Amino acid sequence: MIFIGKVPYRISLLGGASDLNWFVKEKQYGLCLGYPLKKFSYTIINKLPFDSQKGILDYSVREIYSSIDDIVHPIIREVLKEFHLNSYIELKSIGFANSGSGLGGSSSFLLSLIAALSKAFDLNLSNNEIIEKSCTIEINNLSKPIGKQDHFLCANGGINSFKFNSDDSVIRNNLSSIKKETISRLIKDFYLIPTNQNRNASKVLNSIKNDHSSINKILEIRNIAENFIKDKEEREYKIEEKFHASMRESWIVKKTLSNVMSDYLQDQFREINLLIPNNWIRLIGAGLGGYFLVSSKISYEEILKITNQNSIKGIFKAEISDEGLSCVCL
């Protein structure tokens, strides 16, 4: 029997950076608003016979291990250590995006790995327990300079907003049905355009942390998100106006954070902005690479025509997934 963990990547819309662990500890809380992308990480686990002498790990490279401590891949090593899983496994990882894509790839993989192992070894972890374990492993065990938004947005289907408190508690913010419906409609006109630049997110995030001007900028990003999340407006056109305005305002602040944009990305941004009529464009993830998210004012057919004529490769619709983390047994 094999066990397949399946978890979406994520799109962060508002509040990104305010979830960073150091910011939450200093400023009491952070916020996020976003959704899981209809693109997935899959982790396939096969439990090897009890008399096996080695385990097999097949991701971007292939590892054969005899001891957990010998495993090169830090996430796999720490997960097996966290759950004291000394039985040998065969692992295969399949994903849409490469590391450094800005779509929450490492968290998506980590969640899918824990979900598959939970089923394979009868750990009986709930979805919330899987999410919390994944946060602990990335933030505490591996000391990554990240926050919790990737884990929570990847693991929960549909549009969600979360508040991350300094005591480590997480609260799901209430969004009205009309606000969710409006955002869902707007997402139908969202597109992702690859920058063809992969980067080390940890280096970018450490740069932001070490820049003393960052904290006030992130406070501003949090305030923009909070104003939209808490707004009681029930008129659809007003929600739409405020959403687009919030996305534009948040991006104006975010792009001034340390190491978010390079000259190369600035050139790409300007080219896309000139070619595609849009409400806004923003870079997804920590910065220096990944994907641009575009809210288009024109049809899919027109988008494809423009991008094909101007050699913009790899564009696709940023569709929302109604499912979060899951695991099946075959």
Q: What is the pLDDT of residues 68-86, one digit of tens each?
A: 999 999 999 999 999 999 9
Q: What's the whole-number mean pLDDT along residues 114-133?
A: 97
In order, the DSSP letters of 149-211 are HHHHHHHS-SSEEEEEETTS-EEEPP--HHHHHHHHHHHTTEEEEE-S----HHHHHHHHHH-
Q: What is the largest CA-CA distance in the chain?
A: 65
The C-alpha atoms of residue 135 and residue 222 are separated, in whole angstroms, by 21
Residue with tokens 């200093």: 26
- pLDDT per residue as tens digits for the range 20-58: 999 999 999 999 999 999 999 999 999 999 999 999 999
Q: What is the pLDDT of residue 99?
A: 64
Per-residue pLDDT, 143: 93
Give the pLDDT confidence of 166-197 residue by residue, as tens digits. Answer: 999 999 999 999 999 999 999 999 999 999 88
Supply the pLDDT for residue 314.
92
Question: Left, alpha or beta for 285 (phi > 0: left; psi -120 to 50: alpha)?
Answer: left
User: What pLDDT score does 211 carry?
Assistant: 83
Residue 244 clears pLDDT 70, i.e. is over it = yes
pLDDT at 97 over 80: no
Mean pLDDT of 211-231: 95
Query: What local confidence, expressed as pLDDT, does residue 65 receive?
Result: 97
The secondary structure of residue 321, as a DSSP letter, is P
Residue-averaged pLDDT of the chain: 95
By mean pLDDT, which of 195-204, 239-248, 271-280, 293-302 is the weakest? 195-204
Q: Using the predicted structure, report yes or no on whether residue 98 has a pLDDT greater than 70.
A: no
Q: What is the mean pLDDT of residues 129-137?
A: 97
Cα(254)–Cα(167) distance, rounded to whole angstroms? Answer: 26
Return d(Cα 16, Cα 189) in angstroms, integer: 21
Average pLDDT over residues 206-225: 92
Indicate if the pLDDT at residue 200 is higher than 80. no
Q: Look at residue 299 and tell me whether its pLDDT is greater than 80.
A: yes
Name the residue among 312, 320, 272, 260 with its Cα closest to residue 296: 272
pLDDT at 34: 98
Asked whether residue 2 carries a pLDDT value surpassing 80, the answer given is yes
List, in sequence order, every residue forming a beta bridge with 190; answer none if it has no partner. 295
Q: Is the dihedral of CA 11, 256, 164, 234 positive or negative?
A: negative
Q: Which two tokens stand for residue 170?
A: 């997480």
Q: Cα(first)–Cα(last) distance of the chain, in Å?
A: 6
Q: What is the pLDDT of residues 105-120, one digit of tens each?
A: 999 999 999 999 999 9
Neighbouring-strand partners of residue 32: 162
- The answer to whether 35 and 103 have CB atoms below 8 angstroms apart is no
